[in-house]
Amino acid sequence: MTRLPEKIALTIFVAAASVMNVSGQLPIPVPGQNPAQGGAPAGAPGGGRGGRGGGRAAQPIEPVKQVVTPIPSAVEVTGPGEFFETFMDSYDDAKKTNVAPKDTYAKFNYEAKEYFVSGTTTSGTPYKTRIVIRKSKDNTKFNGLILAESMHPSGNPWVFHFTQVYAMTNGVIGLEILTTTPAGLASANQARYKDLVVPNGATNDILAQVGALIKSNHKDNPLIGFAVRKMILAGSSASAAVAQNYLTNAHMAQRLADMKPIYDGFMPTSANGQIPVIDVPTILVPTMREAFSGNGTTQPDNERLRVYEFAGMAHIDARVAGQYYPDPCKYPISRYPLGAEMAVALDKLFAWVDKGVAPPHADRFYVDFNPDNKPKLDRDKGVLLALDEFGNVKGGIRNTYVDVPAKSFHVPDEAADPRIPNPNHFIAERRINGQDPDAQLCGLGNFESALSKDQLKKLYKNPKDYYNKVAQRYDELVKEGWALPVYKEMVLAEAARVTF
């Protein structure tokens, strides 16, 4: 995989990690775009938390003139030079080693193909961007569903990356769209990417036109002949802000030739924000990082909106993100399987847009403004979430990791002091010009604390009893619709490794 030169890579990483600096509030929007609007702070008048959300209800978008989105041209790119693979290294928890993208693709018989897309914005400005399509090599495995997302400034399709097991097991096609500056790509491979141009303010037009292309019978459609039923636009953190900006400012105006929506649903993750009333479903997935300081969204669910907060979930899935190994953080980085939980939300959104099955409502995280009810470490970090006797958050969508605990999950982590001497190359390449990528990256993650042997012995007769309780609870969650069978083997394998 081609890596970004250090100077460019640093710029991209800081854009991504600066999300951490807003203390769990909104992700940083892409330059040139308006940020999404946040809801009332948790516990504020009219704000309450837990239950269904008691803040400001969704506001309808002012009626807009609907227009048919023009179809851009596209061509597959095979050179010159190496394709810049933005799908980052994953981490194999069982083998304790990083896994290159090519090995992940091989495991699921997937492939990545690159295309350049050229068009003109509504203001008349030409653009030339790139898209990456990740799909099964066996086209018959395609399940009719597409997960589209704007490339994150760090250079990764994070939602597809996090949910890779679910997505690639089920034949979902991943569509990554470059909507920001191509400078990093051009620096990585000047010959291949030098002609890419993404003007300021072109993001929504690019998202609309690429989406329209993928749903068209145009000869340049890379997926022509595929039976595409539904396509959602998702994003994590900064890319979530891109998706929210589109659904707020472009979705109701930009349309297909039959005036139907281009994107059939939206899933902003690791994000807050007020979701307006639109004509397709949205599932918003804030994490503990967005909510811990009392700034979680309080917008109530409505006919086309669900807010899903998963107990234990961090801003980023350190469990699969290879840059966290070796661990650069002060406290043990959380091994909570964000992807397995995010996939639950993704599965429900696909069922909602594809089959009309409206998902259930869910409790939000509970808050507790009494600092005396928190362990000192959480209190010192300004955590306003309500915690149980083991230190796990109360409320939210439950899972075996918090309901059958062997650990507790806390937010946020911080960098080791002194900094570790031999970090992952992702960090090492960015320790330049006084930058502190360790702090930025660790601040996006949760950390975990193992329960003591005495605590475990009070909860479980022995490790086998613990394993059985995990298995029983997982089966219950599957029946309740809050866990997916595809992750059961992973969860039980981890439970089998717990000793006390």
pLDDT digits (tens, 9 = 90+) for 215-251: 999 999 999 999 999 999 999 999 999 999 999 999 9
Give pLDDT, residue 98.
Answer: 87
> Across residues 154-176, what is the average pLDDT?
96
Q: Which helix (H) or strand (E) holds 450?
A: strand 447-450
Scored b (16 or more CB within 10 A) or e, 146-172 reads bbbbbbbbbbbbbbbbbbbbbbbebbb
Is residue 469 included in any domain, yes or no? Answer: no
Is the pLDDT confidence value at 115 over 90?
Answer: yes
Q: Which helix (H) or strand (E) holds 409?
A: strand 407-410
Give pLDDT, residue 19.
Answer: 33
50: CATH: 3.40.50.1820
Domain hosting residue 333, numbered range: 6-451
Q: How does residue 141 score in pLDDT terms, banded at 50, 70 and 90?
A: very high
Give the span between the Cα atoms of 341 and 298, in whole angstroms: 21
CB neighbour list of residue 145: distance below 8 Å, 6 or more residues apart: 170, 172, 173, 229, 230, 231, 232, 350, 354
Return the beta strands (E) in 43-109 as ranges.
Answer: 67-68, 73-77, 90-92, 97-99
Is residue 361 included in any domain, yes or no? Answer: yes
Residue 230 sits at the vertex; the CA angle it makes with 225 and 231, to the nearest 5 degrees, is: 95
Give the C-alpha distances (Å, rounded to integers) separating 465 from 335, 400, 440, 461, 495. Answer: 22, 14, 39, 6, 10
Q: Which stretch of 26-40, 161-175, 339-353 has the lowest confidence by average pLDDT?
A: 26-40
Q: Which helix (H) or strand (E) holds 289?
A: helix 288-291
Is residue 327 included in any domain, yes or no? Answer: yes
Give pLDDT, residue 196.
Answer: 97
What are the tokens at 42?
A: 């948790």
What are the tokens at 329?
A: 């953080």
Is residue 188 included in any domain, yes or no? Answer: yes
Is residue 456 included in any domain, yes or no? Answer: no
Q: How does residue 13 score in pLDDT terms, banded at 50, 70 and 90?
A: very low
Give the span between the Cα atoms of 115 and 83, in whole angstroms: 10
Q: What is the pLDDT of residues 351-366, one digit of tens each?
A: 999 999 999 999 999 9
Q: Which of 4-13, 31-40, 423-432, 472-481 has the highest mean pLDDT?
A: 472-481
Is the pLDDT confidence value at 154 over 90?
Answer: no
Q: What is the pLDDT of residues 423-445, one digit of tens each?
A: 998 899 999 988 999 999 999 99
Is residue 499 included in any domain, yes or no? Answer: no
Q: Count of domains in the chain?
A: 1
Please give the biggest Cα pair distance in the chain: 70
What are the tokens at 494?
A: 């981890």
pTM of the model: 0.89
Is residue 135 included in any domain, yes or no? Answer: yes
Is residue 482 included in any domain, yes or no? Answer: no
Is the pLDDT confidence value at 87 over 60?
Answer: yes
